[in-house]
A and B are shown apart, each in its own frame.
Chain A
Amino acid sequence: MYAYFIDDWVYNKHHRKLDRLDLLLTQKGISGRKIKLARLNDLSASIRDCASSGIKTFVSVGNDTTASRVLNSILSIKDKIGEDFSFVFGVVPIGEPNMIAKVFGYQNIQESSESLARHRTEKIDLGLLNGRHYFVTSTIFPRKCSFGFKSYTISSLYSDHHISVCNSNIYNEKKIINTQKFNIRDGILEAVIAHNLPTSFVNKIRGKKANNNYIPESIFPIKVIYIKSKEKTVSVNSDAEKHFTIPIKVEVKQKFLEVVIGNNFYGHTKY
């Protein structure tokens, strides 16, 4: 049994894709319960209802923010219910950004529906912020933050660097400094300080701004880390935008989430 959590804006902006998805799911025989994620809807109540009905596969239809919202709601219910509640998580990518679907190994509606029908699953690591917010891909922190470990701190000498804690590779894998990193199933997160490529002379003359292609420069494998900043509260991008008070504890939950994987699953890919 499947439950599809469809974000509100998908109905308004992507109704054709939604019709196509409906058709694909019916053809493959995996049509299930559809829940609309409106602002006033009680998501937790819907998930409890699905769980009590015996639904084991929860699918988020939308972008990374949708997936993060659905996943965190399911996991908070799982925390309350306990080990009796097991589920498999999947994503149907509609809209941008959709890094989570890429990590799971599917990039469009067709691929995700095929993967859901095949129902091949793997357990992956999850990152956890301050013991309450889970993330699949990475958390990007404000530029003035520093990494705090038990006995040492790491800070960037420049203010324009990209500071993140990654579970999967969010950077361009071809230019990555360290090729064996960013395994989503190794029980380790990577604290990364990346720098932006300087704008070429020709682009400067043309008035083009620097692109957002960051290259990892410093990589620290971690299990627990504290993020420090001079500000009391910071806004982070952790699959979805969230606000946290400083210091932020980031830890890894090894093989915590069972997901439906596609052919290009990141856990199988060696960069």
Chain B
Amino acid sequence: MSMFDSKDEKGGDRGFEMKQGEAETVIGASVKVDGDFTSNGNVLVQGILNGSLKTKGNLRVDEGAKIKADVQAANASVSGEIEGNVTIKDNLDLGSSAKIAGDIITKVLSIEPGAVLNGHCLVSASQEQEIPEPSKIQKPRPVDDKE
């Protein structure tokens, strides 16, 4: 079973888990990233990130990490601080030390006791339903003078 599967051996949902050795990109505790960070693989954040963070892989934000950015990832496990909107395709786990100031959009959300969340939260089974497009405004038909 892959480490990123959301189901455990018994078939139950156990959330998302990423071990340290599986991360392709590691932003260490004493490193600062400024700008729009993009990656195709798994990302582990332990330091500071300002700007935006986008990855097609999974994201782990360790305790002590400070992210001032909008975040997008496939799965995420957060134990640090995020100041910005968080958009996760599948699973989002908030640990007991997680602090999020921003809106969350995800498919599956699990929150441990002690996690702080300031913002709107949209949890939906399908991504299409999450952000409904505003309906088109129908213009009134011009009144025909002959009628």
Chain A residues with a Cβ under 8 A of chain B: 149, 151-158, 161, 177-180, 193, 195, 216-221
Query: Cβ of A154 and Cβ of B32 under 8 Å apart?
Result: yes
Given contacts A151-B36, A152-B36, A178-B23, contact A218 B51 (CB under 8 A): no
Chain B residues, CB < 8 A from A178: 20-21, 23-24, 26
- From the candidates A151, A153, A195, name the one contacting B38 in the complex (CB within 8 A): A151
With A and B bound together, what is the CA distance between A104 and B136 in angstroms? 65
Tell me the count of chain B residues lying within 8 A, CB to CB, of chain A.
23
Chain B residues, CB < 8 A from A179: 21
Q: How many A-B residue pairs have CB under 8 A?
A: 67
Query: Cβ of B33 and Cβ of A217 under 8 Å apart?
Result: no
Query: Cβ of A221 and Cβ of B31 under 8 Å apart?
Result: no
With A and B bound together, what is the CA distance between A218 and B48 in angstroms? 12
Given contacts A178-B21, A218-B27, A221-B24, contact A149 B35 (CB under 8 A): yes
Query: Cβ of B31 and Cβ of A195 under 8 Å apart?
Result: no
B15 close to A (CB within 8 Å): no
Shortest A185–chain B CB gap in Å is: 17
- From the candidates A151, A177, A218, name the one contacting B31 in the complex (CB within 8 A): A218
With A and B bound together, what is the CA distance between A79 and B81 in angstroms? 50
Q: Which of B28-87 contact A (CB under 8 A)?
A: 28-38, 41, 47-48, 51
Complex A-B: 6 CB contacts under 8 Å? A178-B24, A180-B22, A195-B28, A218-B31, A219-B26, A221-B24
Shortest B53–chain A CB gap in Å is: 10
Q: Is the interface of A mostly helix, strand, loop or mixed?
A: strand
Query: Cβ of B32 and Cβ of A157 under 8 Å apart?
Result: yes
Query: Cβ of B33 and Cβ of A152 under 8 Å apart?
Result: yes
Shortest B34–chain A CB gap in Å is: 5
Q: Which residue of A lies closest to B21 (CB)?
A: A179
Query: Cβ of B37 and Cβ of A152 under 8 Å apart?
Result: yes
Query: Cβ of A177 and Cβ of B26 under 8 Å apart?
Result: yes
Query: Cβ of A217 and Cβ of B26 under 8 Å apart?
Result: yes
Query: Cβ of A154 and Cβ of B26 under 8 Å apart?
Result: no
Query: Cβ of B36 and Cβ of A220 under 8 Å apart?
Result: no
Chain B residues, CB < 8 A from A193: 28, 30-31
B25 close to A (CB within 8 Å): yes
Query: Cβ of B20 and Cβ of A156 under 8 Å apart?
Result: no
Shortest B137–chain A CB gap in Å is: 37
- From the candidates A152, A153, A216, A217, name the one contacting B29 in the complex (CB within 8 A): A217
Query: Cβ of A153 and Cβ of B30 under 8 Å apart?
Result: no
Chain A residues, CB < 8 A from B35: 149, 151-153
Query: Cβ of B21 and Cβ of A217 under 8 Å apart?
Result: no
